[in-house]
Chain A
Amino acid sequence: MVDQPIVEVRDLKKTFAVKHAGGTSTLHALSGVNFDIMRGETLGLVGESGSGKTTAGRILVGLIPASSGTVSLFGHDIAGANGKAQLAAVRSRLQFVFQDPYASLNPRMRIGSAIAEPIDIAGTHSRKDRNDRVAELLELVGLPRNSVERYPHEFSGGQRQRIVIARALALNPDFVVCDEPVSALDVSMQAQIVNLLLDLQERLGLSYLFIAHDLAVVRAVSTRVAVMYAGSIVEFAPKAKIYSDPQHPYSRALLDAVPRADPDFVRHPVVAGEVPSLLDPPPGCSFHPRCAYAMDRCRVEAPSLRESGPGRHVACHLFSA
């Protein structure tokens, strides 16, 4: 039971219809993604814009429907035929923390009502229990109790993110998707929020899907890391392995590109080119136009995610025997 994953994603695909002057084309946001999340762990999902990481996170909490595949949360498949009912059954166990703390709180709603919103929607608490819970949540995230009557504009970005986290925890969820929760914050605030998320995980046994573009932040929070590129997972490994020994050329390029706060650091050559268009992805491996190791095979055949070591998977022909 302990090792039963709480989230199982299998062959998840998502396409969007994009209208333009010449008609409609199909945007492949996710092209067959697989991953599991264990109880109490944090899966870090890293990638650049257009990698599909945010789309995956939104599908996991039912904000957008999957096009095909299985999304099993606590054994309920929310992407299947009976998805709506399955989602309703697990809804109180899922939550989402957004990137922009200025957009994720209703400016005309007092903090108390904002935090209590999931409780009010579920209708599970008496008036007194609800207010007690709000006070408890404020304390949990390190905000004064008298914040209840205030409005979002009276708080700084870091404090707002604490409020958003309190709201997410209102119904004691088991699984929280954090979509770039600190990337809009100042460095000194970032560290406070990251530590808060880690503390809460320890105390409450939460599991996170932590979506971020910042590899260093992901390292600080994750148990395992999945690197995404153009709608697919290209590498999946325990945290220590990804950072010390990245296998996929894109993972390496991404790590090399991060600016270091260390003037002695000697940089590898920068990867050339840009992320391909998801409307018209290149044939074969989607990274091959930018890859220094691209072979003929990469240009025609898309590599699948294969086991490349204990607990690690990579989608690259260099690692397929």
Chain B
Amino acid sequence: MIMPLLSVRNLTVQFRVDSGWVTAVDDVSLDVGEGDCVGIVGESGSGKSVTALSILQLHQRATTRIPSGTITYQGQDLLRERGSTMRRIRGSEIAMIFQDPMSSLNPVLTIADQISETLRQHQGLTGVAARKRVVELLGLVRIPDATRRADDYPHRLSGGMRQRVMIAMAIACKPRLLIADEPTTALDVTIQAQILELLRDLRKELKMSVMLISHDLGVIAEFAQSVIVMYAGRVVEEAPVAQLFRRPVHPYTVGLIAAVPKLDSDAPRLATIAGRIPGPQEIIVGCRFSPRCALVQPRCRDEPPLMQPVSDGQSARCPPRILVLGERHG
């Protein structure tokens, strides 16, 4: 069996609050293989961004702890690595882009300055060589008139162009895994489509694996090959993209897909999921979706359900529903 590029096992992440520690990510496991494109979808408080930040150890160390779990990148346990090793891995092995490209760019440095900084740090490129590579990278992310744009300051660029610059910085050292955390959420629809297309092309050209985090099922459906659905800190379902949308298993996944307004439907009302997302400090014994679930059974409230395989590549954290589906098929 081939080892996946990145493997997260039973990861639990907790944050310090006034009254102790709250669990933001609870027993999350996921794999990203070479060349894979994994989507993580969830609403606020699902723990999707926290999971991503923990992979690169970008969380606030003073107020965060990881009581259990392993994060293995190419056989190396990242949770044991500190300082210089992590700095090398960030950027040159695993790169990350964020939702807000403005706050990720330093306003007093030109585009060329910021990208060359990365090149100098990770590849030791300086002077003319660095400049040449900067222009090449800006071309790669399809910034028109790259030679001139390189000397612009971030405020001169539109949101879409800034995100392109962020992508250029991220791919500067040819990382093997790109983590994109809501990369298009702050952008307009037509620009979002352009950025997604760019990411798709770059993934093929550079043979990168991509982990895309989004709240938008549409973005996930278009971009990812396999999808992980998170709710209130836990993975509730995992499936290849087509299967997830055609045959969702977990009631939350079903509800979420139904709640997305459709461009081609004139239903008089949108489908809703009753109730609201629990806060991180709310204690829910058993399945965290049970207070909102229409199919809830007594045992759902008693003990947290386990992930169970449903069919090839698909698994869900909902034993009652899997049982029903199994009987229907069997």
A and B associate: yes
Q: Which of A66-74, A265-273, A296-304 contacts B (4 or more CB under 8 A)?
A: A265-273
Contact between A216 and B261, CB atoms less than 8 A apart: yes
A263 proximal to B (CB < 8 A): yes
Contact between A261 and B197, CB atoms less than 8 A apart: no
Given contact pairs A258-B218, A259-B196, A188 touches B255 in the complex (Cβ within 8 A): yes
A64 proximal to B (CB < 8 A): no
B215 proximal to A (CB < 8 A): yes
* Min CB gap B225→A, angstroms: 10
* Residues of A with C-beta under 8 A to B190: 48, 253-254, 257, 270-271
CA–CA, A271 and B271, complex, Å:
31
Contact of B259 among A190, A243, A260 (CB under 8 A): A190
A320 proximal to B (CB < 8 A): no
A117 proximal to B (CB < 8 A): no
Count of CB-CB pairs between chains A and B under 8 Å = 130
* Residues of A with C-beta under 8 A to B245: 261-263
CA–CA, A35 and B260, complex, Å:
29
Within 8 A of A (CB), among B121-170: 158-161
Within 8 A of B (CB), among A195-215: 195, 198, 213-215
CA–CA, A214 and B270, complex, Å:
14
Contact of B221 among A217, A260, A274 (CB under 8 A): A260
CA–CA, A257 and B44, complex, Å:
24
Contact between A272 and B194, CB atoms less than 8 A apart: yes
B58 proximal to A (CB < 8 A): no
CA–CA, A248 and B311, complex, Å:
45
Output the nearest chain A residue to B191 by Cβ-Cβ distance.
A274
A3 proximal to B (CB < 8 A): no
Contact of B276 among A156, A214, A217 (CB under 8 A): A156
Contact of A263 among B194, B241, B267, B279 (CB under 8 A): B241
A side interface size, CB within 8 A: 45
A291 proximal to B (CB < 8 A): no
0 or 1 for each of A143-174: is its CB under 8 Å from B? (1 = yes):
00000000000001111000000000000000
Contact of B270 among A194, A257, A272, A275 (CB under 8 A): A194
Q: How large is the interface on B (under 10, 10 to 19, 20 to 34, 35 or more residues)?
A: 35 or more
Contact between B217 and A213, CB atoms less than 8 A apart: no
Contact between A261 and B257, CB atoms less than 8 A apart: yes
A90 proximal to B (CB < 8 A): no
B322 proximal to A (CB < 8 A): no
Contact between B264 and A270, CB atoms less than 8 A apart: no
CA–CA, A206 and B208, complex, Å:
52
Contact between A191 and B272, CB atoms less than 8 A apart: yes
Output the nearest chain A residue to B196 by Cβ-Cβ distance.
A259
0 or 1 for each of B211-223: is its CB under 8 Å from A? (1 = yes):
0000111111110
* Residues of B with C-beta under 8 A to A215: 189, 263
Given contact pairs A187-B43, A188-B273, A194-B270, A270 touches B193 in the complex (Cβ within 8 A): yes
A186 proximal to B (CB < 8 A): yes
Contact between B221 and A262, CB atoms less than 8 A apart: yes
Contact between A189 and B276, CB atoms less than 8 A apart: yes
Contact of B272 among A188, A214, A256 (CB under 8 A): A188
Contact between B262 and A216, CB atoms less than 8 A apart: yes
Contact between B193 and A195, CB atoms less than 8 A apart: no
Contact between A214 and B222, CB atoms less than 8 A apart: no
Output the nearest chain B residue to A259 by Cβ-Cβ distance.
B218
* Residues of B with C-beta under 8 A to A259: 192-193, 196, 216, 218-219, 221-222
0 or 1 for each of A51-93: is its CB under 8 Å from B? (1 = yes):
0000000000000000000000000000000000000000000
* Residues of B with C-beta under 8 A to A271: 190, 193
In this complex, the member of B192, B193, B263 whose beta carbon has the largest number of chain A beta carbons within 10 angstroms is B263
CA–CA, A67 and B220, complex, Å:
43
A17 proximal to B (CB < 8 A): no
- Given A191-B272, A213-B188, 13 new contacts (CB under 8 A): A187-B259, A188-B255, A192-B272, A215-B263, A220-B270, A239-B266, A240-B266, A257-B189, A259-B218, A261-B260, A267-B222, A270-B193, A271-B190
Residues in B lying within 8 Å of A, measured CB to CB:
43-44, 158-161, 188-194, 196-197, 215-222, 241-242, 245-246, 255-257, 259-273, 276-277, 279
Which 6 pairs of residues, A with B, have the shortest CB-CB distance?
A: A259-B218, A48-B188, A216-B261, A186-B43, A257-B193, A191-B270
* A-B contact list, 11 entries, CB within 8 Å: A48-B188, A159-B276, A186-B44, A186-B215, A187-B259, A188-B43, A259-B193, A261-B262, A263-B245, A271-B193, A274-B161
Residues in A lying within 8 Å of B, measured CB to CB:
48-49, 156-159, 186-192, 194-195, 198, 213-217, 219-220, 239-240, 243, 253-265, 267, 270-272, 274-275
